[in-house]
Amino acid sequence: MPDNESRRVSVIDSHTGGEPTRLVVKGGPDLGDGSLADRLARFRSDNDSFRSAVVNEPRGSDVMVGGLLCAPVDSCCAAGVIFFNNVGYLGMCGHGTIGLIATLAYLKRISPGEHRIETPVGVVSAVLHENGEVTVTNVASYRSAANVAAQVPGYGQIHGDVAWGGNWFFLVHDHKMELALKNVAELTSFTWAIRQALREHGVAGADGKEIDHVELFGPSQLPGVDSKNFVLCPGKAYDRSPCGTGTSAKLACLHADGKLREGQIWRQESIVGSVFEGSISVRDGKVYPSIKGSAFVNAEAELVLDPRDPLCMGIRS
């Protein structure tokens, strides 16, 4: 392509319980044919400006989660995917995987049934139901530390669990906040302060990885729904969905506390009122969460990356 010619990138947008996913289906970078983890490393080192071009302003926004559709290494898998956001990359993304499956169905590339998807943190499976709902069975999830105290400047001491659900989460129960959409600004400041406090005091995931998602829990007013959450994502946006990986982390904690049996349903409401249905299965002592939800395609577009545009690759903070 001559230097002054615009690059074209085909994307399909969807939302899962209000949380957007922009899937790149054509025109993405060539990351080779290594594992999805290797391809993510190459995405980060050689093509990070492409990530920013797709999800950051002025084409995207802080809330947008991107997905790069990849050919899988294992031909038993329907697809591979690398998820990314306004500040970096995600190991797994539950709402995004539901969006990916809805998008592949929209493109008529898959039919109802079970499909395996490769991600940088492992293979997940997704069932596309006849009614369009999707159940994602996530990577094994676990709690690495329970009831960790954290002193949060301006807010005092809180306690939370550290858990993996495909990303690292700090799950907080003892807070005084009302989980309501009208309080999103305060909830964002509070959870951001928690994240800074965790970093400052060296509270991290089992492998020393930064905890980059913070989750608050409270009661739900919806009939038959067990809990409501507010989830702060790595780039300071909040998850409009109940967060697939966050709900997975929650299910692993509930199971560790003896509060969730195999097959028992847990309904998790998001801050905007959307609901995921979760359950777990246990194999070889490991907890595998399943998350059911729906996604809807809401745009099909061609991004134009014009090299004359000074903000062509997005506004990066």
∠ Cα 24 116 237 (to 5°): 45
CB of 143: closest distance to ligand PYC in angstroms?
Answer: 17
Per rule CB under 6 A, is residue 94 in the interface with ligand PYC?
yes
Is residue 258 within 8 Å of 209, Cβ to Cβ? Answer: no
> Rule CB under 6 A: is residue 179 a binding residue for ligand PYC?
no
* Amino acid at the residue 235: G
**Alpha carbon distances (Å) from 236 to 167, 213, 317:** 15, 9, 12
Q: How far apart are CA 276 and CA 249, in angstroms?
A: 13
Residue 70: active-site member: no
Q: Are strands 266-269 and 134-137 parallel, antiparallel or unpaired?
A: unpaired
- Whole-Å CA distances, 164 to 41, 70, 121, 149, 172: 20, 24, 11, 18, 14
Q: Residue 91, interface with ligand PYC (CB under 6 A)?
A: no
Chain positions 2 to 21 lying near ligand PYC, rule: CB under 6 A, are 19
Among the residues of the chain, which ranges form H helices? 36-46, 48-55, 94-106, 184-200, 244-256
Selecting among 70, 77, 233, 243, the annotated active-site residue is 243
Rounded least distance, CB 127 to ligand PYC, Å: 17
Least distance (Å) between residue 151 CB and ligand PYC = 26
Q: Does 244 bind ligand PYC (CB under 6 A)?
A: yes
Please report whether residue 60 would count as binding ligand PYC according to CB under 6 A: no
Q: Does 294 bind ligand PYC (CB under 6 A)?
A: no
Judged by CB under 6 A, which stretch of 25-33, 106-114, 203-211, 236-244 contacts ligand PYC?
A: 236-244
Cα within 13 Å of Cα(203), Cβ side: 28
Does 99 help bind ligand PYC (rule: CB under 6 A)?
Answer: no
Site for ligand PYC in 122-161 (CB under 6 A): none
Q: Does 233 bind ligand PYC (CB under 6 A)?
A: yes
Around Cβ 315, how many Cβ atoms within 10 Å?
Answer: 12
Nearest to 96 by CA among 76, 120, 129: 120
Using CB under 6 A, which of 53, 65, 139, 211 touches ligand PYC?
Answer: 65
Q: Does residue 277 interact with ligand PYC by CB under 6 A?
A: no
Question: Minimum CB separation from ligand PYC for residue 3, in Å?
Answer: 36
Rank residues 127 and 311 by Cβ distance to ligand PYC and give the closer one. 127
Interface size with ligand PYC, residues (CB under 6 A) = 12
Q: Quick one: 160 or 278, whose CB is closer to ligand PYC?
A: 278
Residue 136's Cα: distance from chain center in Å? 12
DSSP H helices in 201-314: 244-256
Task: Give min distance, CB of 95 to ligand PYC, in A.
Answer: 3
Q: Does 239 bind ligand PYC (CB under 6 A)?
A: yes
How far apart CA 43 and CA 31 sit, in angstroms, is 7
Residue 274, interface with ligand PYC (CB under 6 A)? no
77 is catalytic: no
Please report whether residue 215 would count as binding ligand PYC according to CB under 6 A: no
CB 227 within 8 A of CB 277: no
Catalytic amino acids?
A: 93, 243
Judged by the rule CB under 6 A, the positions of this chain that interact with ligand PYC are: 19, 65, 90, 93-95, 233, 239, 241, 243-245
